[in-house]
Amino acid sequence: MSNILEIKAVNKAFEKFSLQNISFSLPKGYIMGFIGQNGAGKTTTIKLVLNMLTADNGSIKVFGKDHLLYEQEIKERIGVVMDYPFYVDEWSLSDVERSLLPFYAKWDSKKYNYLLHQFSLDAKKKVKELSRGMKMKLMIAVALSHDADLLILDEPTSGLDAVARNELMDILTSYMADENKCILFSTHITSDLEKIADFITFIDNGRIIYSDTKDDLLENYLLIKGGLNQLNSEQKKQIIGYREHSVGFDGLVEKSLVHSLPKSIITEPSSLDEIVIRFNMGGKKHE
């Protein structure tokens, strides 16, 4: 089994929003960044994987097994980090361990205390006394203490400063030194993923716009800038997030189209952020 997570043709309809035909896979040993603006469906997808929501149809497999039939087995091997700690805020960090320990066959108490020490977390402190960054590290400590093979992170860095975010990146890259581990990292702060993500799944308005390697995504889309009259209307239609202003225009295009554009148009590599922004602005959509 080489795919740790496999989502196929999943649909989930709500009143004002729906996930449509969501499919993507995460192979073992890689980090997948799950990007898209707020409300695009990232958290909903993660909730479906965790069985907090039931899909209308489609299949979700984790570690090669159906996520409902083998729910308990699967959850022993998953570590989850969200943007808020879902523990009793009055618990001490030792209480957290004592409460969760019976649910994990592989819980390693030494490791938990070691990690608390490494993250400068005092076991006697209460969860509510921790700063935002420390709360995130607490969740990581819990996730790493039962030898989870898949880490699912949903907006773990929102509200954190650059230093704390960088610390998280260090922790995650160390975790990935083991080629049997996997990370699904959902965030709207794409700069975190820019460096370390292997795969990117881009979701917009409930639909998967792109799901493949990050390198390909960044190589396939270029930012272009030029003068107001350099493009005809046909060409303008090919541009994603076309923006015209008083002294020119800019936008995003697929690399394959660049050669058909006037040579004087400036092209430059795009960032993940820019891609999300441009797709959100409209214009020609991928697939």
Partner 1 sequence: MYLDIIISNTAGIPIYEQIKEQIKAAIFSGELIEGELLPSIRQLAKDLQISVITTMRAYKDLEQEGFVVNVQGKGCYVQPKNPHLLREQKFREVEENLLAAINAAKLAKLSKSELMDMLQFLSEEEGYE
Partner 2 sequence: MNKVISFIRLDLYTIKPYRKSLYFYMALGLIMAIAFKSLSILSSFFMVSLVLIMAYPFTISEKNGMETLYSTLSLRRKNVVIGRYGFVLFIETISIIYMSVVAALLSTFFTIDFSMKETLLTLSMLSMVFSFIISLQYPFFFRFGYTKARTLANIPVFVIVLALGILPNLMEKSWIFQSWNTFSQVAEANPILLFFLPLASGMLALTVSCFIACRLYGKRDL
Residues that bind partner 2 (CB under 8 A): 47, 50-54, 71-76, 78-80, 82, 84, 86-91, 95, 98-100, 102-104
Q: How far is the CB of 264 from partner 1 (least distance, A)?
A: 13
* Residue 64 contact among partner 2, partner 1, none, beta carbon within 5 to 8 Å by kind: none
Residues in region 10-49 near partner 1 by CB under 8 A: 29-31
* H helix runs in 119-187, sequence order: 132-144, 162-175
Task: Choose from partner 2, partner 1, none: what does 31 bind? Cβ within 5-8 Å by kind.
Answer: partner 1
Q: Can you read off the two tokens belonging to residue 147?
A: 């030898």
Q: What is the largest CA-CA distance in the chain?
A: 68
Of 169, 189, 257, 261, the one binding partner 1 (CB under 8 A) is 169
Q: Which does 80 bind (CB under 5 to 8 A by kind): partner 2, partner 1, none?
A: partner 2
Smallest gap from residue 169 Cβ to partner 2 (A): 22
- Cα gap 113→109, rounded to integer Å: 6
In the list 57, 174, 191, 260, the residue contacting partner 1 (rule: CB under 8 A) is: 174
104 contacts which partner out of partner 1, partner 2, none, CB within 5 to 8 A by kind? partner 2
Contact present, 230 and 239 (Cβ < 8 Å): no
Torsion, Cα of 154, 156, 159, 161 (10° steps): -150
Please report the sign of the dihedral spanned by the C-alpha atoms of residue 96, residue 46, residue 203, residue 217: positive
**Residue 156, SS3?**
coil
CA 47 to mean position of chain CA atoms: 13
Binding letters toward partner 1, positions 187-216, x by CB under 8 A: --------xxxxx-------------xxx-
Give whichever of 85 and 241 is closer to partner 2, judged by the CB atom: 85
**How far is 240 from 285, CA to CA, in rounded Å?**
7
Selected binder of partner 1 within 13, 219, 244, 266 (CB under 8 A): 219
Q: Nearest approach, Cβ of 1 to partner 2 (angstroms)?
A: 19
Nearest residue (CB) to partner 1, 24 versus 199: 199
Q: Which residues bind partner 1 (CB under 8 A)?
A: 29-31, 169, 173-174, 176-177, 179, 195-199, 213-215, 219, 269
